[in-house]
Amino acid sequence: MLLVVNSGSSSVKLAVFDGMTLCAQTQVDRIGSGGPADHGTALTLGLERLAVPAARLQAAAHRVVHGGAALTQTCRITPEVEAEIAACASLAPLHNPPALSGLRAVARLWPAMPQYAAFDTAFHATNPDVATAYALPLAERDRGLRRYGFHGLSYDAIVRKMQEMTGNALPKRLLSFHLGNGASACAIAEGRSVASSMGFSPLDGLTMGTRPGSLDPAVVLDLVARHGAEQTTQMLNRASGLAALGGSNDMRALHAAGTPEAAFAIDHFCYWAARHGASLCAALGGLDAITFTGGIGENDGIIRSKIVNQLAFLGAVLDGEANAQGATALHAATSRVAIWTVPADEERQIAMEAGSVMRQEEGLG
């Protein structure tokens, strides 16, 4: 059996797979905001909930958000790989440290258990140089300052699930939204990522739960001059986004609040999602389909409606009843663009990729 650990910015998802059969799963939410104090505590709680005998676990596989330029495919965790993950921690401070906490906690519990890492940046390795290069001096680009893109395991799973849903007829030009506490959009051409709203770190792009999304670099310079680098880092990662605009990073709470600030935060979230999405359509050269995934993308019909309505000029038209019911197919009969909700399936994607590496190690791949 394989234990899959998906440590997000505010949650930990755990799943146990026997082959590709899901045997048990649990999720611990609201870490640091009314729930467990930290990811280590959340992981311990989640393992207790799973109630799977430790003797049956053969390996563990972890979602790691930032693999940098070196880690572009799923691999076994060695001291060298762990060091690379740690070196990228400052680039994904809400994610890589929790992932490290998770893999170290598993190592403490089961020292002999082999562990594997799957990287959110890997799916975007197919982006062309023109999409990833910053217009900076060569010396700065050579030391790794570039766009990486994130949520790649989610987008990879979307490609797989779309093929299952449509009988392998994958849309040629797909705009995919991953909307949750972390949020991004991705341009997928014939199953391959060609552009992402996120950049060097998961701070860029859409408005998020506690992250601001795209900022003029001069804003960051001003904040650092006024508050220092450490306080600015905390502000941009933990005290911005929906929380700063509307008073909460939980979209459900914003809907319920009924305040002008909460309404503005919701509008800001949708405006920038649609605006970045439209930009990604230029990288695709058009649009054939839109998908929504993630906690907000899958469950919030109001958010989907606001975003799609802003993209109506591209030919996207929602079926209002299907959207309200949370159906899988959301497009109206008159829509020139297919619109789908696709349940997040990162844990199975991680299990598939880790299983492939394990089979290769055994000489079976």
Of 239, 246, 208, which Cα lies nearest the Cα of 231? 239
- CATH number of the domain enclosing 31: 3.30.420.40
Q: Report d(CA 250, CA 320) in Å as an integer.
A: 24
Residue-level pLDDT at 95: 84
- Letter for the amino acid at 310? Q
Residue 360 domain-assigned (yes or no) = no
Given its phi and psi angles, is residue 205 left (phi above 0), alpha (psi -120 to 50 degrees) or beta? left
Residue 158 domain-assigned (yes or no) = no
Residue 112 domain-assigned (yes or no) = yes
- Letter for the amino acid at 342? V
Residue-level pLDDT at 364: 64
Whether 173 and 319 share a structural domain: yes
Whether 191 and 286 share a structural domain: yes
Residue 33 domain-assigned (yes or no) = yes
Whether 115 and 186 share a structural domain: no
Whether 22 and 96 share a structural domain: yes
Residue 192 domain-assigned (yes or no) = yes
Residue 127 domain-assigned (yes or no) = no
Residue 124 domain-assigned (yes or no) = no
Residue-level pLDDT at 30: 83
Residue 240 domain-assigned (yes or no) = yes
Where in the sequence numbering do the catalytic residues fall? 120
Beta bridge partners of 266: none
Whether 28 and 87 share a structural domain: yes
- Letter for the amino acid at 293? T
Q: Are 155 and 188 in contact (CB under 8 A)?
A: yes
pTM of structure: 0.90
Domain around 64: 2-119
Q: What does the radius of gyration of the chain's CA atoms come to, in whole angstroms?
A: 20
Residue-level pLDDT at 365: 54
Q: How many domains does the chain have?
A: 2
Whether 293 and 232 share a structural domain: yes
Whether 108 and 185 share a structural domain: no
Whether 171 and 296 share a structural domain: yes
Q: Which residues of the chain have pLDDT under 50?
A: none
Whether 186 and 314 share a structural domain: yes
Task: Name the strands in the sheet holding 173-179, side by side, starting at the edge strand that comes first in the sequence.
Answer: 192-196, 183-189, 173-179, 289-293, 338-341
Whether 103 and 247 share a structural domain: no
Q: Report d(CA 224, CA 12) in Å as an integer.
A: 31
Whether 188 and 334 share a structural domain: yes
- Letter for the amino acid at 145? L
Whether 68 and 215 share a structural domain: no
